[in-house]
Amino acid sequence: MEKNSTFIHSKLYDHYKDKVILITGGTGSIGSQIVCELVKYSPNKIIILSKDDTKQYLMKQRFKNFTNIYYLLGDIRDYQRVEYVSQGVDYIFHCAALKQVPTCEENPDEAIKTNLLGSLNIIEAAIKNKVKKVINISTDKAVNPTNTMGVTKLLAEKLFTQANFKLNNQHTKFSSVRFGNVLGSRGSIIPLLMDQLLNQKPLTITDLIMTRFFMSIKEAVQLTIQAGVYAEGGEIYILKMKALKLSDLVDSLIVLAKQKKLKEPEVQIIGKRPGEKLFEELASEYELNNMYENDEMYVISSRPPSNDIFKKSYLSDYRSDKVNLINQVEILHILKEHDRQ
């Protein structure tokens, strides 16, 4: 394992050393952690593009010792700004998006402007400026989508895949990574329920039999930056991950309450929100026919990857209700880690 870790670090270092890297949505949970990881590999410059000046200020304090990180205000909906910040860039990690299912459901026009038109701006700017690679951050909700957010992310995946075949694209490779739920990211369920538990409020649960794929922020970041190395254009990279059942999460929160000498929390079943499914999928039935794998990830590709670390996969489905579940010991560890933050 250690040898493999050293080998991967060496490949990442060789790939990102002295490069100029743009991260859209770079002040978010994922974007900021990508920065945290990339600085280990001696890039020439990391450019943060985001529209929240407060988050940029806080991030500047966090990374104040790094002189090669640049912070630019801007919105991916603004093509001129995106084109400007893409000049001289080698790699783009596209993290900026509207990600909350209820928000997108209530504001579909805004979801389209950010998740689709914003993605088109990234694509056109990258091609114009001859960026080497662009990695688009996607989600399991893009598979057989039932909500606006999932639909926009699926179409964004299609845009990035098709961008490899644009007539004016002679230099840029576009690929995507598909996440499950990221533990501890802003707006995710664990911070919400932990806040309710610690403040002695009822735990609001949509449905106890609901399952969700989960990955740590560290795993999400590693998947993303490794995809930046492996990408040949048109692939979708997916981490191999376990799932979490909401009933198991509730049971673990009750155990944690006892350990912290808090009163047992009340559980309120609020029902599925508009557009939610009882389980998520990370690959469609069609995509399973074009799936390859190594020990850590799957890759969906219309052609076999040239890298021999990937072999043909014969997975029959990839659903959150049919994979191994995170057990109570693991859940309690996750909850306690979050509590320490």
Tens-of-pLDDT digits for all 341 residues of the chain?
334 677 788 999 999 999 999 999 999 999 999 999 999 999 999 999 999 999 999 999 999 999 999 999 999 999 999 999 999 999 999 999 999 999 999 999 999 999 999 999 999 999 999 999 999 999 999 999 999 999 999 999 999 999 999 999 999 999 999 999 998 777 788 999 999 999 999 999 999 999 999 999 999 999 999 999 999 999 999 999 999 999 999 999 999 999 999 999 999 999 998 889 999 999 999 999 999 999 999 999 999 999 889 999 999 999 999 999 999 999 999 898 887 76
- Alpha carbon 300 to its chain centroid, in Å, reads 16
Q: Which strand (E) or helix (H) includes residue 34?
A: helix 29-38
Q: What is the pLDDT of residue 9?
A: 86
Tokens of 9: 């670090």
Counting other chains too, the contacts that 61-68 makes at CB distance below 8 Å and 24 or more residues apart are 62/32, 63/35, 63/39, 66/39, 68/39, 68/43, 68/44
Report the CATH architecture of 2-180+217-240+283-315: 3-Layer(aba) Sandwich (3.40)
CA–CA separation, 226 and 222 (whole Å): 6
Q: What is the pLDDT of residue 2?
A: 38
Tokens of 294: 């190594």
Q: What is the pLDDT of residue 69?
A: 98
Give the Cβ contact number of residue 129 at 10 Å.
19
Single out the catalytic residue among 19, 133, 141, 153. Answer: 141
Q: How open is the CA angle 162-123-240, to the nearest 5 degrees? A: 65
- Alpha helix segments (H runs only) across 184-280: 189-198, 217-230, 246-259
Tokens of 50: 């985001």
- Alpha carbon 29 to its chain centroid, in Å, reads 9
Q: What is the pLDDT of residue 76?
A: 99
141 catalytic? Reply is yes
- Alpha carbon 306 to its chain centroid, in Å, reads 25
Q: Sign of torsion, CA 32 16 181 51?
A: positive
- Strands of the 69-73 sheet, one edge to the other: 69-73, 45-50, 20-24, 91-94, 133-139, 173-179, 236-239, 297-300, 291-293, 311-312
Residue 302's contacts (CB-CB under 8 Å, 6 or more residues apart) are: 234, 290
C-alpha dihedral over 52, 54, 57, 58, to 10 degrees?
-110
pTM: 0.93
The number of helix segments (H) and strand segments (E) in the chain equals 13, 15
Q: Which strand (E) or helix (H) includes residue 14?
A: helix 2-16
CB 30 within 8 A of CB 5: no
C-alpha dihedral over 136, 274, 339, 185, to 10 degrees?
10
CB 68 within 8 A of CB 44: yes
Q: What is the pLDDT of residue 229?
A: 96
Return the amino acid letter for 169: N
Q: What is the pLDDT of residue 3?
A: 43
